[in-house]
Structure 1
């Protein structure tokens, strides 16, 4: 199944992936992690809440603070999407010969090194 068949945008998938490792994050933290304005993040979260993939919770002491977390359904769907993407990539990589696989591997390794060396 491809992303379009699960009817999630790449931004929605990114939001789910961002929430995967966190128990609960505020909308502000999520917006910062997604590197987008809170208004746009709110629209993404609204759609995910309507599909019961994430849940919203208001802080008991300050209702301006909105916390977001991944639901079990959201985690299951995210795992499905990630596994599907891995299967698609693995299928495509099968067509490469050893030389191309070696070049791809060394290039990917170098790219990771460069990205890690970038200043925060």
Structure 2
């Protein structure tokens, strides 16, 4: 497929994805939790629940100063905890809390998250969409470069 066709498909997909997937998801976020905060929690969850502040900043492609502010907000919400590393005082460890894990479980258990969109699909379309998402996820992981793949697979994380 020509890259111009691929680019055209991506550009056509973006508004539809925004209105049918991204916007409804943003409405589910608890007050005070931004999309960037959600991304950080998701990254921590993928990596087994704990990372250093530097690793989290690198994985989310955020400057450390911005990450510090974001983690401060996550700590205030009790979604993560911050501890100093016992071996190196310069290192700050970030760990998901019980509340953070429960927050993430809320999205997996809430079948209404994307029901407005998914209810419009028949079973065959849902299966095609799921397979397409798996392929997209795999491609994005392969092309991410400096983002480590999840230790927890998306399928295992659902359990």
Q: Tell me if both proteins adopt one fold, taking TM over 0.5 as the criterion.
A: yes
Q: 1:37-95: CA deviations, max 9, x gaps?
A: 111111110001111111011012321110010000111112113433x5231342212
| Residues 1:13 and 2:38 aligned together | yes
- In the other structure, the counterpart of 1:32 is 58
- In the other structure, the counterpart of 1:81 is 107
Distance 1:4-1:108 versus aligned 2 partners, 3 A rule: closer
Instruction: Give structure 1 regions of 4+ aligned residues with deviation exceeding 6 angstroms.
Output: none
Q: Distance in 2 between matches of 1:59 and 1:75?
A: 22
Aligned residues: 119
| Residues 1:70 and 2:96 aligned together | yes
Structure 1 gaps, min length 5: none
Structure 2 gaps, min length 5: 1-24, 146-159
